[in-house]
Amino acid sequence: MRIFRSLYAQVLVAIAAGVAFGLLDPHLAVAFKPLGDAFVKLIKMLIAPVIFCTVAGGIGRMSDLKAVGRVGGRALLYFEVVSTFALMIGLAVGELLKPGAGFGADPAHLDAAAVASYVAQAHSMAHASDYLLHLIPDTVVSAFAAGDILQVLLLAIIAGFAIAALDRAGAGITPALDKVGAVVFAMIRIVVRAAPIGAFGAMAYTIGAYGLPALERLAALVGAVYLTSALFVAVVLGAIAWAAGFSIWRFLVYIREELLIVLGASSSEAVLPQLMVKLERLGAPPATVGLVVPAGYSFNLDGTNIYMTLATLFLAQAIGVHLTLGRELTLLAVAMLTSKGASGVAGAGFITLALTLSAVGVIPVAAMALILGVDRFLSECRALTNVVGNGVATLVIARWEGTLSRETLRAALAKGPA
């Protein structure tokens, strides 16, 4: 059938097949995990050259270099404001629904060893100076070898300014970067065709390893996170999109393939290059897309913020710890900082939660063992919300700069995904 020629339909079928396989034969389904991991690694290996070519080339050809700093400043301001809304809405829903009430867990019998590795990674990023130094790669090559988004972004910005400073000599460099970028994007188009295989393997593993029983035990938390994320996208991001002149629903339809890939792979990085391409097709300038999207993957984690406040309240309610208003405000302040601390790290949401609990010091970090079994399901929701949030942020910043082609935006959203 013609419909199954589209990547959207193929990924949808693959996810459904993965769920069914995970339920029918959990032990065998777990063995298919490498399929999902391999697909994410294939995409990740191409992210660094995409960011470098897009950002360095975009800045290099800009006549107004002050605009680069202005775009970055406006993006950071937007990220902080919207992230605060995400934290607050998570806190409000957690207090209203009380997903952990009645759980009755005894802190003395929690398995601290189960989360020890996450705590260790969290402690390694606990100091602001360590995090800031981490942004600077040891060598130019090491940034690309590690695939660290922020390190590559820093190199790309410096290279872009250097190219612009060369004037005529730099004029021949940007076309070369464009050609390299075109080759990388062609490689991405080839790799993305394997998305259904990756989605099948990742979803089969998730269901086979954790199964519906784990989901049923913590259904209140999972439901609260998905409900809050949907509410955030519909109300907060919907209002922001409306103010910027486009419909959040049309935008979601436009990036539906990317959302399904994220759902299957449980990773927002799996669609970073494709998201950048689609945002450019919507009329956002390449330089703005190249700056805002990679930065947003580290600083604009709306889904992670919602998860952190809800998970913290769930754990407090589950073990019977009462959080006063002062402690909740402290939680918001700490979460605003720690949400930036584990970008680019596998299992970043869980690591960030460990860092937040350690900093607040009221809830034992060992309590995280209660939600370890469903973190994979929560990770999918975090990644989906983060992708939508960063897509909206890029269009809003471009509109704020006056560089967004509104005619292109309307036409592309009306037409739908290519």
CATH code of the domain covering residue 366: 1.10.3860.10
* Alpha-carbon gap, residue 165 to 28, rounded angstroms: 57
Give the pLDDT of residue 397.
95
Amino acid sitting at position 134: H
Question: Cα-flanking dihedrals φ and ψ of residue 126, to 5°?
Answer: -75, -30
Q: What is the pLDDT of residue 234?
A: 95
What's the confidence (pLDDT) of residue 362?
Answer: 79
* 54 vs 71: CA distance, rounded Å: 15
Low-confidence ranges of the chain (pLDDT < 70): 1-5, 63-64, 103-132, 169-171, 213-217, 337-349, 359, 373, 418
- 292/397 Cα distance (integer angstroms): 8
Query: Quick one: tokens of 353?
Result: 């939660």
Tell me which residue of 16, 188, 207, 217 sits closest to 99, measured CA to CA. Answer: 217
As to burial, measured by CB atoms within 10 angstroms (0-12 exposed, 13-18 middle, 19+ buried), residue 4 is exposed
Cβ–Cβ under 8 Å, residues 293 and 279: yes
Interior/surface letters 117-143, b for 16+ CB within 10 angstroms, e for the rest: ebbebbebbeeeeebeebeebeeeeeb
Cα atoms in the Cβ-side hemisphere of radius 13 Å centred on 305: 29
Residue 92 to residue 87: CA distance in whole angstroms: 9
Q: 315: exposed, middle or buried (C-beta count within 10 Å: 0-12, 13-18, 19+)?
A: buried
DSSP class per residue in 326-338: HHHHHHHHHHHHH
Domain range holding 388? 2-415
* HEC readout, 320-373: CCCCCHHHHHHHHHHHHHHCCCCCCCCCHHHHHHHHHHHHHCCCCHHHHHHCHH
The domain tally of the chain equals: 1
Q: Strands, DSSP E only, in 131-273?
A: none
- Cβ-proximal residues to 403 (8 Å cutoff; 6+ apart), any chain: 284, 285, 288
* DSSP percent split of the chain into helix, strand, coil, nearest 5: 80, 0, 20
Q: Give the per-residue pLDDT at 11.
A: 84
Distance CA 230, CA 251 (A): 14
- Of the candidates 81, 57, 84, which has an alpha carbon nearest to the alpha carbon of residue 68? 57
Phi, then psi, of 342 in degrees rounded to 5: -125, 30
Q: How far does Cα 187 stand from its chain's mean position?
A: 22
